[in-house]
Amino acid sequence: MVNRILIRIKVLQIIYSFYQSGNNDLKVAEKELLFSLKKSYDLYFYFLLLIVQTTHLHSRILEARKNRYLPTNEDLHPNTRFVDNRLAKQIEENETFRKYISEQSISWDNDEDFIQMVLDLILSSEIYKDYLANPNDCYDTDKEFWRAVFKKIVCSNEAIDEYLQDKSIYWNDDIAIIETFLLKTIKQFEEDNKQTQPLLPMFKNLDDQSFAIKLFRQSLLKGDEYRGRIEKHLKNWESERIAQMDLLIMQVALAEIMNFPTIPTNVTLNEYIDIAKYYSTPKSGPFINGILDAVVNELKKEKLLLKD
């Protein structure tokens, strides 16, 4: 689930912190990287739990209305389609979900206002109104409802994003990526799987975990070598005008180019140019592309880089 796009971003962030802190303990920094990746996976379960918790909250609200001093007919006979949603119930009963949130102490217990805000957004939406009016009361309708809620209400909601970023500093750059995995998960759910529905693993395979560790280590252990090659091609640039983040992005990109022969060079270049658009300056993309292209050509001439 933690894909290589997110891994590259996390490696870049931890290496940046490593240099800024002045702490040269590689093992501590590596533990921080793995912890940061785990927090991304935690967010995936927080999103799943959000479905369960908003359902529980709405159930409590409906029950409280029944116990009013003078309940209305609607209070006594509410539409319970939301609280009876089959997908929400299946998630709550999912064995992998229950085990993970228990072992990792994943909880929204101290976030009642946030759960209420999300529930209010849902109940005031056209998605909710259409859901209640849909004559096709079945599992697929329930599943499509939550897919639509996440896609159109939760994803890219500024208030939700701000709350999540405040809840964990590790989530600042994870939210949009993890939301896409949540949508993928909802799509994959099948009613017949009941509580054994597979959830996404933290890493798609062991190669991705190895990729994260090796990229991190090589970026730091051979950092001076990579910086030296980069700086040879900076003669026409004023050093004080070069963003330090640009140099760091190129350092990590070069580590990937040099140490992962199965990843095409152009794939690596495109990935880090995209990262530069969000983490450096507006002009960083073309600048990084030009410098790295020159470095790559030099490496090929020296027969130190044999892949395309």
CATH code of the domain in which 269 resides: 1.10.940.10
In a domain, 202, yes or no: no
Model pLDDT for residues 9-22, shown as the tens digit of each residue: 999 999 999 998 88
Residue 203 falls within a domain, yes or no? no
- Give the pLDDT score at 160: 97
156 and 234, same domain (yes or no): no
pLDDT of res. 237: 65
Q: What's residue 308's pLDDT?
A: 75
pLDDT at 34: 95
The answer to whether residue 216 is domain-embedded is: no
Q: How many separate domains does the chain show? A: 2
Co-location of 175 and 227 in the same domain: no
Q: 185 and 84 in one domain?
A: yes
Residue 75 sits in the same domain as residue 144: yes
CA angle 164, 166, 167 (to 5 degrees): 65
User: Is 215 a member of any domain?
Assistant: no
Would you say how long the chain is, in residues?
308
Residues 20 and 153 in one domain: yes
Structural domain containing residue 261: 222-301
Task: Assess if residue 18 is contained within a domain.
Answer: yes
Give me Rg for the CA atoms of the chain.
24
Domain match, 87 and 11 both? yes
- Residue 257: count other Cβ atoms within 10 Å of its Cβ: 23
Claim to verify: residue 188 and residue 261 sit in the same structural domain: no
Contact between residue 75 and residue 57 where contact means Cβ atoms under 8 Å apart:
no
Q: Are residues 117 and 159 located together in one domain of the fold?
A: yes
Chain mean position to CA 110? 22
pLDDT at 122: 98
d(CA 45, CA 108): 11
Q: Are residues 35 and 89 in the same domain?
A: yes
* Residue 140 domain-assigned (yes or no): yes
Task: Encode the chain (308 residues) as per-residue pLDDT tens digits.
Answer: 899 999 999 999 999 999 988 878 899 999 999 999 999 999 999 999 999 999 999 999 999 888 888 888 786 878 999 999 999 999 999 999 999 999 999 999 999 999 999 999 999 999 999 999 999 999 999 999 999 999 999 998 999 999 999 999 999 889 999 999 999 999 999 999 999 999 999 998 889 999 999 999 999 999 999 999 998 888 766 555 578 899 999 999 999 999 999 999 999 999 999 999 888 888 888 899 999 999 999 999 999 988 87
Kindly report, residue by residue over 272-306, the tens digit of the pLDDT. 999 998 888 888 888 999 999 999 999 999 999 88
